[in-house]
Structure 1
């Protein structure tokens, strides 16, 4: 990798994909979406076309258009645009990686294939290597999300020695709950100066105690400013305040989970909180009843105003 790399740290919003009521991508929403993130939430890095963005439900061409628009509209406003290019087909992933390089994204990330699953860490590393090679000058991040892929390999086993295969490797987005594995990832990444970004929003504080460098998550679209306060308290050594904020965020997410929290509900919550017209999810996800999303949005409003319930 020839260019200097800025280490990925802090909060990264996993972005939703704006769709019209007819189910087509709606690029016109991205500019005001960026303004909302940066001005209202203080979040200046994004992770595009991932789980929250329904990336695996989009065509390759749609993913290209979205990545291009985020990079174009983000110039001068966003610090980093990380594009998820993972697909079931390695050729599609390679095409998206080359495209991300052509639009000057700040990095790319890849999940494990989940239909024909890699049988061991070496097989997965070979897949990642072939994708990374198509964008050798872009920082490369492995996206570990076993709950969605069904791939139960330990992330640390994927990381070990990967620098010999992928010179552009810069870290891992860890969306799992195995804190032992997470801790070992942090330990291994320290010697490489790589980033470990945590992806389970309601457990971020615990991951911070293990030394993660930041977080990628969907709730940072609308809880970004609140979570930044938690990070600030933690950095100042105020564990009590940090825990208090984490507990309140947990309450909001638990409330949403009891209502059936998924990507579809999350997207509708963002519609309600931000006022952006992000539209419905794409099938097979079903739209969330507006009343449920509004009740979650009310809880978020109470939290942002400093209320405990």
Structure 2
């Protein structure tokens, strides 16, 4: 276990938050996953955070989530460094079953959202919930999925992680999907750096690097990982002008996408238009982007030369 946790702490680079592909009849298309893995590898994306927000995990049935996780673990073996399976977003018994399943099939780590309806009001309640899930996979590293903009639960993460570690031996970090740099800084300042923080807010990569962030999980790495790699490399070589320029390009792309409609629906439309794979439409309650929205978005994105960012 300690070796697995240390591997996660040492990891540097990008993980995709992959989409779940659907056929026209609404069924999950897992046949696409091996080609998806190859696409990520071509763009130097070294892992995947499966069944998360981008992957519409909370909208999938337990059996669909199990099947998707299995296919990612199989397809990623020997190609991707990390396969993290997100098991939260449903009732606790299903979450525990998904955790057990992930461990049985060899996921590198599991992660969990907090409860999405009956929200805990104190750290101890959230920790008890997460501890029960983590205990179902006692030999697998555990990450907390911190995304307050979706969950409405905004813990002070440095304190929360330290408290949670007392109850959850496998806890080794978090997916930090927030633009709160103060909280991120405090987590990075903990003595001995006991937790790995995977940045989940792609648009603040450059701001997070000086705080010690070395790894990130995001939706944009599905289609513009080369830009984020340029940001990281320019920062490492102290070419801050280049780093700011490339971060600015990322922000422009994100702004164009968000201007047209809901993030997941619009990014899925981007992938369907510029990449080699067809991910279909999102599952309700998310609605597919309209033809007019896609046309307007792609016109602006082509002006930014977005189609040149995905290497096939």
| Closer/same/farther in 2, CA of residues 277 and 305 from structure 1, 3 Å limit | closer
> 147, 151, 154: which one pairs with 2:153?
151
Distance 1:70 1:203 in 2: 28
The alpha carbon displacement at 1:218 in A equals 0.3
Q: Aligned ranges for residues 1-16 of structure 1 at < 5 Å?
A: 1=1, 3-5=3-5, 6-7=7-8, 8-16=11-19
Equivalent pairs counted in the alignment come to 304
- Give the superposition deviation at 1:153: 2.1
Q: 2:84 aligns with which of 73, 82, 85?
A: 82
Following the alignment from structure 1 to structure 2, what is the Cα–Cα distance between the partners of residues 47 and 224? 15
Alpha-carbon displacement from aligned partner over 1:276-295 (angstroms, at most 9, x marks no partner):
11111000111112453355
Who is 1:172 aligned against?
Answer: 174
Shift of 1:156: 2.1
After TM superposition, the structure 1 = structure 2 runs for residues 59-98 of structure 1, keeping only pairs within 5 Å, are: 59-98=61-100
Q: Is 2:116 the counterpart of 1:114? A: yes
Per-residue deviation at 1:138? 1.0
- 1:123 is matched with which residue: 122, 125, 131? 125
Scaled by the length of structure 2, the TM-score of the pair is 0.92
CA contact (8 A) 1:2 1:137 kept: no
Change (3 A) 1:304 1:276: closer
Match of 2:212 in 1: 211
Q: What's the C-alpha RMSD, in Å, of the aligned pairs?
A: 1.7
- 4+ long deviations beyond 6 Å: none
CA contact under 8 A between 1:272 and 1:294: conserved in structure 2? no
Q: CA–CA distance in 1 between the matches of 2:222 and 2:68?
A: 17
* 1:112-136 deviation per Cα after TM superposition (whole angstroms, max 9, x unaligned): 1120001111111111111111111
| Bigger mean CA offset, 4-13 vs 97-106 | 4-13
Native 8 Å contact 1:174 1:199 kept in 2: yes
Q: Within 5 Å, which residues of 2 pair with 1:158-197?
A: 158-188=160-190, 191-197=192-198
SS at match of 2:184: helix
More displaced stretch, 286-295 vs 218-227: 286-295
Q: Which one of 84, 99, 102 corresponds to residue 100 of structure 1? A: 102
- Give the conservation status (yes or no) of the 8 Å contact 1:52–1:263: yes
C-alpha distance in 2, partners of 1:79/1:294? 36
